Amino acid sequence: MNQIIKLTGIEAFGYHGVLPKEREIGQSFIVDCELEVEATQAVLKDDIEHAVDYGAVAELINSEIQGEPVNLIEVLANRIATKILHSFLLVRSVEVTVHKPSAPIQVPFSNVSVTALVTSE
């Protein structure tokens, strides 16, 4: 039995971007994450030992946003998704969207985002 876990609006400060100014002063990034997880044992046994700890997933996301800078949010989204997939054995697929609401764009906008989808198959 598969279930979906969604975490939305995880916000942290990072130094990702192509421009030197982005690397110097940094900015906030927001991540949404959707996990498809194998939940049979969790549902049958009602035991955290058989479930994905979404608090730990949130901490991993936070750590990656604050971690080593990359030029492209495409790389950050893929790095987060891949790390989640490899760190949590019950995760079958993960979709990660990285939002960069303060991107250096010269026209009015509300958000820029990139979504990575990684599966175990």
Q: Just list the catalytic residues.
A: 100
Region of 17 (left: φ > 0; alpha: ψ -120 to 50; beta: rest) is left
Query: In the chain, count of helices (H) and strands (E)?
Result: 4, 4
Decide: 12 and 29 in contact? Cβ < 8 Å. yes
